[in-house]
Amino acid sequence: MIVFCLLLLNTTSLPLLAFAFFIMGSFRAARTVSIAQLRNYVKPESMGLAYGFAESVFALAMILSSFFAGYLYENNPRSMYSISILLTLFALVGTGTFFYLTRPLKQRLDSSSAQMEKHGEGILSDSKQIGINNESVSQID
């Protein structure tokens, strides 16, 4: 999307404009793939509702963005491209943060169990260093 905006902003060449719209097509394909990733975050019985909600949000964004782009174009035609680039960068950061914070449950469990094992090994090695074992602990009780 950023390359699309930069090309539209800085060129009048017909082949480059055609390339910009080709890139826009790849954006639409990536959007379809991103919607397919919903299955990782939604229960199977709610899949239809989730897909419908996601498509509704995308449609609303497309409708509102047309009005916003028209407003920007009236004031300064070049501003709609630069603001689009900034909003795209913001969306990339937000998406990356979302995917990091909502990693699939299996990955979160694997990383937490690895941390527990690491923490447990540290305790075990410390107890061996100071000479504590299970027999001496049971004798104290």
Average pLDDT rounded to a whole number, residues 119-130 = 50
Query: pLDDT value at position 127?
Result: 46
What residue type is 118 in one-letter code?
K
Return the domain boundaries, the chain: 2-102, 104-141
Q: In sequence order, which ranges of 11-131 are alpha helices (DSSP H)?
A: 14-36, 47-75, 79-101, 105-129
Average pLDDT rounded to a whole number, residues 44-50 = 88
pLDDT averaged over every residue in the chain = 75
Average pLDDT rounded to a whole number, residues 73-98 = 85
Query: pLDDT value at position 60?
Result: 93
pLDDT higher than threshold 60 for residue 131:
no
Average pLDDT rounded to a whole number, residues 38-45 = 83
pLDDT higher than threshold 50 for residue 94:
yes
80 or 132, higher pLDDT: 80
% of the chain with per-residue pLDDT over 90? 6
Q: How does residue 110 score in pLDDT terms, banded at 50, 70 and 90?
A: low
pLDDT higher than threshold 80 for residue 8:
no
Residue 69 burial (10 A CB sphere; 0-12, 13-18, 19+): middle
